[in-house]
Structure 1
Amino acid sequence: MLTVDFGRLPVGPGHRVLDLGCGGGRHAFEVLRRGADVVAFDQDAAELEGVAAMFTAMDKAGEVPDGATSEVVTGDALAMPFPDGSFDRVIAAEVLEHIPDDMAAMREIHRVLKPGGLAAFTVPSFLPERVCWALSEDYHTTPGGHVRIYTLAELSAKLKATGLRVGPHHHAHGLHTPYWWIKCAVGVRNDDHPLAKAYHRLLVWDIMERPALTRAAEAVLNPLIGKSVVLYARKPG
C-alpha cells in the first residue's frame, strides 16, 4: 500500500533514493522495482533486518532490474550519516509526526538532497488525526507515537523555512480513516472487536483485489477524509 504517488515523484535508473524512516519498507521496495538505487534508513535495526531480507528475496525472484542496488542503514534522522547532496530523491512517509524536533529532520533532508532533487513528505491529515486524538488518549500518548497534528499550512511553512520549494499535494487512504476511528473508539489495542475485525477484512480485500468499487469510493473520500496528506517539494538548484 503506497502513499507516495510515483507519478509525481518519478524514480528510475540512475536515481539514488533515500527512504527515511522506512519502517517495513513498502516505498523502498517500489523504488527498487523501478530500477533506482535505494537506501532504506531507520532507527529500528530489527525492522531493517526484515527489509534487508525482502531486498534479497526480491533479487532472487528476479524483481530487481539490472543495475539497481539496495542497502539498509540504521541511524538518527536528526544526524544522518550521509554527505551533503547524496540523494536525487527523498521519501519521508509518516515520519515527521513522530519527531519532536521536526525542523531539524527537515533541515537534514534538505542537506542530503541534491540541488534540483525532489522529496515527498506524508503526514496524517489534520481532520482524521484530530478525531483520533479526541477519541483515544492511547492513540497519541504511546511512546514513539505521534507528537503533533499538522495542518497543511504548517507543514508547507516549515518546509519552505528550510529552503525547499513546495509543490503540489494530495490526500490518500480515505478508506482507512474510518478504520482508525473505529479502533480509537473501541480501543486501539482491541484488534478482536467485531467491528474492527470486519473493517480490517474489508481493507485487506481492497489492498489485495483493488476492485473498481472501492477505488472509486476512495477517490471520493480522499479529499474529504484521506488519512494522509502528501506534499512534494524540490531543492532549488
Structure 2
Amino acid sequence: MQADQSKLSAEQPDAAVASENVASANDVTILDANLSGWFLESGELFTDFPIQPEDHVLDVGCGDGGFIGFCAGRGAEVTFVDIDEQKVKETGRRLRDSPARGTHGVVSDAAPLPLPDNHVNKVICTEVLEHVDDPVNFLAELVRVGKPGALYLLSVPDIASETVQQKVAPSLYFEKPHHIRIFSREDFLRLVGDAGLIIEKQTCYGFFWSMFWAFFWTCDQDLSAPWHPLLQQWGRTWQTLLSMRDGPRIKQALDQALPKSQVIIARKPE
C-alpha cells in the first residue's frame, strides 16, 4: 500500500462525531453515535457528562467543533482551543448565532494553555493525547484550568483498533504529527489518575469506525466525499444491522470487542 500524504492531511474524524460527509451518503453515523452514548436528548454530551446552561465548557483540540457545538446549543459558555487557526475561526463563525452564553476561540498548542487557573467546570479532550509530545504535562494543563470539582471527558484511540491500524495503515499514520503513541487501557487509567483526577468511569465504543478506517486505506481517496463504494456499502450494512431487532445488542458486543476509542470521565477533587 502506498502512503499518500493527502490521506493524512487532517486527523480522522472522531468516532463519536457524525461526519457530515459520511452522513450525506448514509446517516448511520448519527444513529451509531447516539447508541454509543453521544449527543443525548437528556442534554448529556456523553453518557454521564451532562451539559447545563450554567456550565463553562472547555474543548481542547476542538477540531471541527462537533462537541463544543453541542455544548453551545445547550446554552453553556464555551471555550474552544485548537492548534489549527482556521478550525478555530470556522468554529467561531458557526457558533456566532448559537444559544451559548459566551464563545471564546483560542489558537494554542496547549503547552501551556493561555487560560487562568480554576477557570472552567467542564473539560473535553478527545483523540488528542496520542498526538502530543508530553501527555503528562499536557494533561497537567487541563487539570490546572479546571475548577475544583470540574468534570473531564477524555478519550484516546483504543489499543485494539490501533493494533489493526498498525497492520493496514501507511506508516505515516504513526508518525508525527499523527499518532505517536498507543495507550493501553491500563496506561490511560494511570495517566489520568497520576494527574490527580478521580476516575468515575471508563468505557469504550466505535466498532463501526474501527472497520471504516481499516477499509479506508485501500480505497485510495482523501478525507472528502464522495466516498468509495466500499465505504458507502459498509455504512449501509451497519445501518441495516442497527435497524434489526438485535442490532443495538450486537453493536454493543462488537464495540467491546473492537472499539475505536476508549473514554474516561474523571473529576478534579474539590
> C-alpha distance in 1, partners of 2:128/2:223?
24
Partner of 1:165: 198
Given that 2:130 and 2:180 are in contact with CA atoms closer than 8 Å, whether structure 1 keeps it comes out as yes
Q: CA 1:118 to 1:211, structure 2 compared with 1: closer, same or farther past 3 Å?
A: same
SS in 2 for 1:128: helix
1:6 alignment partner, one of 46, 67, 73? 46
Q: TM-score, normalised by structure 2?
A: 0.75
Shift of 1:194: 3.8
Given that 1:159 and 1:166 are in contact with CA atoms closer than 8 Å, whether structure 2 keeps it comes out as yes
Partner of 1:133: 166
2:60 alignment partner, one of 20, 24, 28? 20
Q: CA 1:100 to 1:11, structure 2 compared with 1: closer, same or farther past 3 Å?
A: same
After superposition, give the CA deviation of every residue in 1:11-61 in whole Å (9 maximum; x if it has no partner).
2121111001000000000111112111011110011121011112x43xx
> C-alpha distance in 1, partners of 2:229/2:55?
45
Q: CA 1:112 to 1:188, structure 2 compared with 1: closer, same or farther past 3 Å?
A: farther
Given that 2:81 and 2:105 are in contact with CA atoms closer than 8 Å, whether structure 1 keeps it comes out as yes
User: Does residue 95 of structure 2 align to residue 41 of structure 1?
Assistant: no
Shift of 1:97: 0.7
> C-alpha distance in 1, partners of 2:249/2:94?
31
Given that 2:160 and 2:258 are in contact with CA atoms closer than 8 Å, whether structure 1 keeps it comes out as yes
Shift of 1:142: 5.1
User: Does residue 236 of structure 2 align to residue 202 of structure 1?
Assistant: yes
1:32 alignment partner, one of 72, 86, 105? 72
In structure 2, stretches of 5+ residues that fail to align are 1-16, 18-32, 39-44
Shift of 1:215: 4.6
After superposition, give the CA deviation of every residue in 1:74-103 in whole Å (9 maximum; x if it has no partner).
112220011111010100011111112111
RMSD: 2.6
In structure 1, stretches of 5+ residues that fail to align are none
Shift of 1:113: 0.7
Matched residue type, 2:106: V
2:92 alignment partner, one of 52, 57, 73? 52
Given that 2:108 and 2:114 are in contact with CA atoms closer than 8 Å, whether structure 1 keeps it comes out as yes
> C-alpha distance in 1, partners of 2:202/2:70?
20
Q: How does 1:218-229 map to 2 (within 5 A)?
A: 218-229=251-262
- Equivalenced residues, count: 226
Of the structure 1 ranges 165-174 and 44-53, higher mean CA displacement relative to structure 2 is found in: 165-174
Shift of 1:193: 4.8
Partner of 2:153: 120
SS in 2 for 1:88: strand
Partner of 2:23: none
Q: TM-score, normalised by structure 1?
A: 0.85
Given that 1:126 and 1:149 are in contact with CA atoms closer than 8 Å, whether structure 2 keeps it comes out as yes
Given that 1:139 and 1:184 are in contact with CA atoms closer than 8 Å, whether structure 2 keeps it comes out as no
Given that 1:183 and 1:190 are in contact with CA atoms closer than 8 Å, whether structure 2 keeps it comes out as no
Partner of 1:102: 135
Given that 2:242 and 2:251 are in contact with CA atoms closer than 8 Å, whether structure 1 keeps it comes out as no
SS in 2 for 1:79: coil
Partner of 1:84: 117
Given that 2:158 and 2:262 are in contact with CA atoms closer than 8 Å, whether structure 1 keeps it comes out as yes
Matched residue type, 2:70: E
Q: CA 1:162 to 1:142, structure 2 compared with 1: closer, same or farther past 3 Å?
A: closer
Shift of 1:143: 4.1
Q: CA 1:190 to 1:198, structure 2 compared with 1: closer, same or farther past 3 Å?
A: farther
Percent identity, aligned pairs only, is 26
SS in 2 for 1:53: helix
